[in-house]
Structure 1
Amino acid sequence: MVKLTRTLTLFFVFTSLLMSSHSQAGEEEYYPLISIVTSAAKTDSRSKNWKPAPDDLVLEVSGIAALEDGRIAVAIRKGEIWILDGVYENPPKNVTYQKFATALHEPLGLIWNDGAFYTTQRSELTRIKDNDGDGVADEYTTVAKGWGVTGHYHEYAFGPKLDCDGNMWVTLNIGLGLKGDLLKRTIQDPKLGYRQALWRGWGMKITPKGELIPVCAGMRSPSGIGSNAEGDMFYTDQQGNWVATNTLHHMREGAFFHHVEALASMSQPGSTIHDVENIPNGVPFPQAIEKFPQLVPPAIWFPYKKVGQSGTDIMLDKSEGKFGPFAGQFFVGEFTQAAINRVFLEKVDGEYQGACFPFRHGFASAVLRLEQGEDGSVFAGLTNRGWSSLGAASYGLQRLVWSGKTPFEIKEMHATKNGFDLIFTEPVDPETATNPESYTLSNYTYLYHSTYGSDEIQTQRNSISKITVSDDGLKVALKVEGRRELYVHELEAKGIRSRDNEPLLHPQAYYTLNRIPD
């Protein structure tokens, strides 16, 4: 079984490499990568910029915090925090490393707030300070705790991230296949019989006073958390049992997302999920929504392999144009394909939905953490321990910068009453943009079931009956027949050219149409 699993993993990685290789070369022109440190620096000659870290430092980055003085802090999986200086140099020849904190239990997030670092360990949210100014932490304070830990390897705890009210958010993994003594450390919901450690599969909010509040549930492996410009909180989930493919969800009180074992805590004091009587299993997701009132759809489905295989961190582009034409959008890390994808969100009838797009491939290893620097560039924290990913390295830190050239891309995809509006980064050529042969559009959904993942099902083609181009060439309005709510709408626009006769860098867009606007 182990040999078969490894063979399948290598097949998936090889397939992903073939899919991304053609776009990676073009992406480099607009968003070059600078390697600050990677595990492959000593053996891989492709980049002269790679600089090895100190021999005893295995930089498996699990959290990043950009500091106002030009340094960055990184948490690493073996339980330390390091502060790096010189990271904005290109090439980064003079990076320095200072160990700030030690003896943490797999910290999987890091922020700097009010003069201290905050990180989530397996069993608590911790504040870490340097009181005497010597550059080394001397105070470790428990800010919040209270979720269960059985000892299962998969019980990761992620965060924190801040919302607009100063609350910190943490997300908790499900424990998989709990048995024996581990099962004895769980709780059980009396109605449905699911067993997990307390609050496993939940999103938790910690108030400035340290109160731990359960908010929403149904998470499987919620490794990314982030806030949009309005201060609403989101998380990413990864394909698995009950999770058809990778997703992005809006976290809010009382929302249930998909993984039913989180309902083990439904009857606990403080639960915001109530009265779940039956779980539909083996039905298309739109039908599951009808049968399961507490279930809410994701804001974004990431079609498997087309837009990643294992989504991770969420980063809001707050650079106001320093990182290119996508200010205000989300960038989402991708583990298996060692990449970053892009997300445009809008609200329809008060609920989030939108489109995802490929963005940048070719990182040295799995992208687990993202942080925007003071100059708008993006730091990517890498580690592939435990799972395979593309890339020559097993860990490291890279920096993605904008070259100043604007790629020809679909910047935004809006749902309208009659179809979709496409907003481009550069004016389109009217002849190719108004040609129906330039587009293909289809829609599909997934099965909601206890089986691992789901194929795309109920696929139908959409016809485009009218195309209108704005005078400035930046907007194309598509009138579309046959759209369906709660289905992903996959657009290919390979025939479009810019006024300078350039093809789209990424001609794909995937819109999650939960609601059709009135």
Structure 2
Amino acid sequence: MWRTLRMPFVRCLIGMVALALAVGSAWADEEQDYYRIISIATPDSQTDSRDPNWKPSDEGIALEVSGIAVLSPSRVAVAIRKGEVWLLDGVDQVTGEGEESGVVTYQRFASALHEPLGLLQQDDSLITVQRTEMTRLRDTDGDDVADVYDTLASGWGVSGHYHEYAYGPKLDGDGNLWMTLNIGMGLKGEQLQKIVPDAPLGYRQAAWRGWGMKLDSSGELNPVCAGMRSPSGLGANADGDMFYTDQQGNWVATNSLHHMRPGAFSHHPESLASMELRGSTIHDVEEVPNGLAYPEALKRFPQMQPPAVWFPYKKAGQSATDILLDQSGGKFGPFENQLFVGEFTQASMHRVFLEKVNGEYQGACFPFRRGFASAVLRMAQAEDGSVYVGLTNRGWSSLGTSSYGLQRLEWTGKTPFEIQEMRAKPDGFELVFTRQVDVESASDVGSYQLASHTYLYQSSYGSDEVLKQDLKIREAIVSEDRLRVRLKVDGLRELFVHELDAGGVKDENGQPLLHRKAFYTLNNIPQE
């Protein structure tokens, strides 16, 4: 999300250039064969708007998308950073096959909002979370302009620090509305007068900063879980359980995906400033370890829960954002019920497979699609399975050719050769592929490389990969249907990330995997 520079600028610039050169255009072109990016044109100064109060500037609308709601096959609502919500009609007519800048019409639906960072359709309304409240927007006279702004929830602390973002809402499987709250970073001056007084352990934050909140059917806003740094993405999985993403920084080793549930603490201790407030679900934290490897830190800090998935830094993104569940029934390819996670700095998307082991979520992340025009901040799926992608690189650099915009990602109907699932087993992993494998290459243990690592839990910025170890694959067993491979592995380690490179595997036509890497967060080794 928009934030202060997270590393020296020169280091960042060198890293981004090296990354762009390493990836190259060939990879994006190959991905385009399976998932096509289509740009939705934004209006210029000549575009006519149906809103009589709109006076377009010479540059047109700065479509810095901060929220998306798909209203119908032809209509999409988008929130933008400057505090407006726009209705876009005719978006389904944009095919990317010609000059279509006049196909989409824009209507301003709402304005004067304070940094809305999400958008959700519910019944005949749109709901967004502003900096200080969750707001319902309603059009009661049918003119496509909101005339009622209702406050659904408020009450969290705001000190005035620019980094105190509020994200959401998203729905869980029971119909509750969820939101997440960014911490303030480096509070000073008058901001310090608005923090929780006499906060435990000396942490200094406004009320409920770094917490996940839930608005239930009775209209009560409840704190649920804590430990968040910059939780800019949230969303439910196919079972209706809620997850959020966090971004690397102090106390956060690298980007991560977390299961939100009562009493769970993730990693950032400044959220514990609210631990003794009425309604807190986290109690009795007396000490926060610092500078320990995560497996040891978790032993010393029983309230802390590991992420369901770690995204190794740069290998699997640099700034995780939104979460999207593929509910298309196969219209978006062979990944139904998996999660897709937006990526800010690399202007890309990653894919996540989750499973439950010993009652807790864990799983693998995979590269999915690069080449968006700017940082991916918000995503929403249409009825035809395509995904609208909201872009803005406001406040932080990203790869891409634009500073903002709206694009649509469509499956071409061709199935890529991918590792569809990576499942933990007592003695290794089972890989599920989207196409039948070549038995000779897939049964050769030399076609795979596997290593594991963990991170440091520390107050300083991020963490290198530590306690690295190469693992021996003893056997690779191909299933009868040639869609699964069982890898038997020596040296599995709980609470470590297991990085797989399946670069030697070919499909039945001799084609390599579109993406050869997978990163499995092995919090629990299954017993059977």
TM norm. shorter chain > 0.5: yes
Residue deviations 1:146-170 (CA, integer Å, cap 9, x gap):
1001111110000000111111001
What's 2:109 paired with?
Answer: 100
Aligned pairs for 1:211-250 within 5 A: 211-250=220-259
What's 1:476 paired with?
Answer: 485
What's 2:192 paired with?
Answer: 183
Aligned counterpart in structure 2 of residue 13 of structure 1, from 16, 19, 22: 16
**8 Å CA contact retained: 1:487, 1:512:** yes
Using a 3 Å threshold, how does the CA distance of structure 1 residues 24 and 163 change in structure 2: closer, same or farther?
A: same
What's 2:499 paired with?
Answer: 490
**Offset at residue 171 of structure 1 (A):** 0.1
Aligned pairs for 1:8-157 within 5 A: 8-21=11-24, 22-37=26-41, 55-68=59-72, 70-89=74-93, 90-91=95-96, 92-93=100-101, 94-157=103-166
Task: Report SS of the residue matched to 2:72.
Answer: coil
Using a 3 Å threshold, how does the CA distance of structure 1 residues 190 and 101 change in structure 2: closer, same or farther?
A: closer
**Could you tell me which amino acid in structure 1 is paired with residue 62 of structure 2?**
V
**Offset at residue 190 of structure 1 (A):** 4.2
**8 Å CA contact retained: 1:152, 1:175:** yes
Using a 3 Å threshold, how does the CA distance of structure 1 residues 8 and 135 change in structure 2: closer, same or farther?
A: same
Residue deviations 1:37-91 (CA, integer Å, cap 9, x gap):
369999xxxxxxxxx9994311000000001352000000000000001112213
**8 Å CA contact retained: 1:38, 1:395:** no
In structure 2, how many angstroms separate the alpha carbons of the residues matched to 1:126 and 1:325?
36
Is it true that 1:305 corresponds to 2:314 in the alignment? yes
Is it true that 1:264 corresponds to 2:273 in the alignment? yes
Using a 3 Å threshold, how does the CA distance of structure 1 residues 512 and 2 change in structure 2: closer, same or farther?
A: closer
Task: Report SS of the residue matched to 1:200.
Answer: coil
Output the TM-score relative to the length of structure 2: 0.94
Task: Report SS of the residue matched to 1:323.
Answer: coil
Unaligned runs of 5+ in 1: 43-51
In structure 2, how many angstroms separate the alpha carbons of the residues matched to 1:255 and 1:308?
25
In structure 2, how many angstroms separate the alpha carbons of the residues matched to 1:39 and 1:412?
41
Using a 3 Å threshold, how does the CA distance of structure 1 residues 438 and 38 change in structure 2: closer, same or farther?
A: farther
Is it true that 1:367 corresponds to 2:376 in the alignment? yes
Using a 3 Å threshold, how does the CA distance of structure 1 residues 3 and 402 change in structure 2: closer, same or farther?
A: closer
What is the identity percentage for the equivalent residue pairs of Structure 1 and Structure 2? 62
**8 Å CA contact retained: 2:245, 2:255:** yes
Aligned pairs for 1:322-471 within 5 A: 322-471=331-480
Using a 3 Å threshold, how does the CA distance of structure 1 residues 196 and 95 change in structure 2: closer, same or farther?
A: same
**Offset at residue 506 of structure 1 (A):** 0.2
In structure 2, how many angstroms separate the alpha carbons of the residues matched to 1:471 and 1:2?
52
**Could you tell me which amino acid in structure 1 is paired with residue 526 of structure 2?**
P
Aligned counterpart in structure 1 of residue 514 of structure 2, from 505, 509, 515: 505
**Could you tell me which amino acid in structure 2 is paired with residue 66 of structure 1?**
V
Output the TM-score relative to the length of structure 1: 0.96
Using a 3 Å threshold, how does the CA distance of structure 1 residues 31 and 313 change in structure 2: closer, same or farther?
A: same
Residue deviations 1:362-403 (CA, integer Å, cap 9, x gap):
000000000001110011000001000000100000000001
**8 Å CA contact retained: 1:39, 1:393:** no
**8 Å CA contact retained: 1:39, 1:395:** no
In structure 1, how many angstroms separate the alpha carbons of the residues matched to 2:176 and 2:198?
28
What's 2:49 paired with?
Answer: none
**8 Å CA contact retained: 1:409, 1:504:** yes
Using a 3 Å threshold, how does the CA distance of structure 1 residues 127 and 40 change in structure 2: closer, same or farther?
A: closer
**8 Å CA contact retained: 1:39, 1:396:** no
**Could you tell me which amino acid in structure 2 is paired with residue 72 of structure 1?**
V
Aligned counterpart in structure 2 of residue 273 of structure 1, from 276, 282, 286: 282
Task: Report SS of the residue matched to 2:486.
Answer: strand
In structure 2, how many angstroms separate the alpha carbons of the residues matched to 1:57 and 1:210?
35
**Could you tell me which amino acid in structure 1 is paired with residue 10 of structure 2?**
T
Per mean C-alpha deviation after superposition, the further-off stretch among 207-216 and 72-81 is 207-216
Unaligned runs of 5+ in 2: 47-55
In structure 1, how many angstroms separate the alpha carbons of the residues matched to 2:45 and 2:408?
15
Size of the aligned set, in residue pairs, is: 509
**Could you tell me which amino acid in structure 1 is paired with residue 139 of structure 2?**
D
Residue deviations 1:442-482 (CA, integer Å, cap 9, x gap):
00000000000000000001101111101111000000100
In structure 2, how many angstroms separate the alpha carbons of the residues matched to 1:3 and 1:312?
16
In structure 1, how many angstroms separate the alpha carbons of the residues matched to 2:494 and 2:350?
24
**Could you tell me which amino acid in structure 2 is paired with residue 271 of structure 1?**
S
